[in-house]
Structure 1
């Protein structure tokens, strides 16, 4: 018997269609009740409860109680990153299409990946940061570049404070739709918080898609993307 990480156990949890639909419904970093997740999975409540129990036991979900309600959410950003990567693999090995990723143009352009930005805008943002030494590549890892701390301080983001947390400041996340990496980690989350706080963009109701306003798109491109 192989003595190592139990990949098969995690794979079996994600591999069930009903559980996969539940996990995908939580990819925006939000929380849903068992009844809501049952609807997402297309199963009855007793069956949903059984699936949720397995996902909880497997460490993929966490549970919070508020009054009489119990809310399920992904246990952390690593679970979201795993799901995003699986979607990319599924897209590449499944029926071939001219373009990978979601058919919805808004989802391709910008969407939530747990608590950070994904999609074409997010990939362009990371590549812009790397081209200007705001971020740097260290082997396969992404780290703050020489220009990083001062640049992000201009957005009110204290990278030193982020470094004091348990979560990595920078982490690459393979983007499902673009097949290149976007920025995750505490810095990716802080940037998305800034985008929403400045009202550059808003989440599209009932979707993970993020829509930029025309002024917000201009501000985003001017400050976060490389000069053209």
Structure 2
């Protein structure tokens, strides 16, 4: 029998294909629940004060809007975390022809595994620093991973991106693209659609200004030469 969560994932992937989604992103470095007592309790208190009914209905499956898919379960609730391996990645590969991107990669060793198992992309990420204390920042790991991958798959980055200047630095280190998380949610919480649009416009204008300050007119011109290298 297929575990309920696996059946749910099959439904979500099928739905993603029907909705013309362009890729599947798999978090590869968070195999079990993290103790986040302080942050989680504060978040729950904040959301319970004024809960959006529609948002609640799609809380666990964003962008789907299908109530029957709502579930507060994780894959490791049915498969012990010590048994979660790259075999699950291979299983996902049998479900879809969409590109599969591995998120949470911070080392060359893990980047090597993503290539061996046929990932189409990598997101260099530490999830905003909220999972493991004292971990390396994503941007510290980006260059080594990009150089190792050497064009064999696309490399993206997220975690701690707050300004257009942050975006410029990541692009200068050869990230294919930069993912924005919390700033978008801040904008959404404060101003809904208009808030999200405002955040994106701020980031865009900052990036354009910083590029101009570096004498650059096009994204393709951004390279590592614009970064100052401290020499000991």
Calculate the TM-score normalised by the size of structure 1: 0.28
Structure number, greater radius of gyration: 2
Which structure ranks higher in relative contact order (CA pairs < 8 Å, sequence separation ≥ 6)?
Answer: 1
Calculate the TM-score normalised by the size of structure 2: 0.28
The structure whose residues are more often strand, as a share, is 1
The structure whose residues are more often helix, as a share, is 2
